[in-house]
Amino acid sequence: MGNSVNFLEIAKYCKDEFEQKCAKASHMSGYSLLYVAVFEDGQMRISKTPHILSGADKCYLIHNWSQLAVSCWYDTYDVQSINEFGEVGEGVFDDEYSFSISPASFNVSPRVYLRRNGEPLYSAALWESGISSDAVLTKELNYIWSLYKKCKNECHSMFESQLLCKLAQKEQSIKSLEEKLETATAKELYLQSEVSAYRTLLGDIKSALEK
């Protein structure tokens, strides 16, 4: 059974605040909101509409807008969490783990981070060729949520969390390289050598985790 807190009402209040702020500021434009709901069974669901918040145990609001810096507009994010008591905070998973999203800057993609006690464990860029930023963010949030649950269940120390997330980062890098290999032509041999090097490192990290 979901929590009795009215997430829809609180989310509307938070959304209205950001919309009004963007409407009044000449350096902010194109506001949008992504709703993230976490349920009693540990499942995370993400939507552009707030209907998924009904029956949730906790939720997150990912505010997004374009911010003017000098003469360029950059994607900017703000993450809010609403817990089971109706308290609004930042992107907190629990007392130790949280996530955040850094803004874009010149030729630099915004990035989503998984953190433990404020220290970054894992990060991913939100720019991907041919895919909308919302779609990339949805994919990465689901991955970070699964990584968080794994860290929570298996990692007692910060070192264990760092090692596990380093392994996850390398696995993601290998996956990306393997996708490039499918269409690689002139760069094929170079990419294969990179994948081989990553796999060697991956084996070393896995061995360390098993000790």
pLDDT in tens, 117-169: 999 999 999 987 778 888 999 999 999 999 999 999 999 999 999 999 988 88
Split into its structural domains, the chain has a count of: 2
Q: What is the pLDDT of residues 78-95, one digit of tens each?
A: 999 999 999 999 999 999
Name the pLDDT band for 1 (thresholds 50, 70, 90).
very low
166 shares a domain with 138: no
183 shares a domain with 84: no
164 shares a domain with 98: no
Q: What is the pLDDT of residues 168-203, one digit of tens each?
A: 888 776 666 555 555 554 455 566 666 676 677 777
Rounded Cα gap, residues 128 and 92, in angstroms: 26
Mean pLDDT for the stretch of residues 106-125: 92
87 shares a domain with 168: no
Using alpha carbons, select from 51, 111, 45 the residue that is nearest to residue 76: 111
User: Which two three-digit tokens encode residue 190?
Assistant: 């170079």
The pLDDT value given to residue 180:
56
46 shares a domain with 133: yes
State the pTM of this model: 0.79
The range of the structural domain enclosing residue 11 comes to 7-154
186 shares a domain with 123: no
Spatial neighbors of 103 by CB under 8 A, at least 6 apart, are: 67, 74, 75, 76, 77, 110
45 shares a domain with 29: yes
The pLDDT value given to residue 4:
78
The residue from 137, 154, 171 where one domain ends is 154
The pLDDT value given to residue 89:
93
161 shares a domain with 133: no
Using alpha carbons, select from 74, 81, 75, 172 the residue that is nearest to residue 123: 172
2 falls within a domain: no
The pLDDT value given to residue 169:
84
61 falls within a domain: yes
**206 pLDDT above the threshold of 60:** yes
Sign of CA dihedral 150, 154, 158, 162: negative
Mean pLDDT for the stretch of residues 92-109: 90
133 shares a domain with 112: yes
The pLDDT value given to residue 187:
53
Lowest-confidence pick of 25-34, 64-73, 167-176:
167-176
Rounded Cα gap, residues 190 and 83, in angstroms: 48
22 shares a domain with 122: yes
Angle between the N-to-C axes of helices 158-183 and 133-154, in degrees from 0 to 180, rounded to the nearest 10: 140
72 shares a domain with 166: no
The residue from 129, 154, 179 where one domain ends is 154
What HEC string does the chain produce?
A: CCCCCCHHHHHHHHHHHHHHHHHHCCCEEEEEEEEEEECCCCCEEEECCHHHHCCCCEEEEEEEEEEEECCEEEEEEEEEEECCCCCEECCECCCCEEEEEECCECCECCEEEEEECCEEEEEEECCECCECHHHHHHHHHHHHHHHHHHHHHHCCCHHHHHHHHHHHHHHHHHHHHHHHHHHCCCCHHHHHHHHHHHHHHHHHHHHHHHC
The pLDDT value given to residue 186:
43
Name the pLDDT band for 74 (thresholds 50, 70, 90).
confident
The residue from 125, 154, 183 where one domain ends is 154
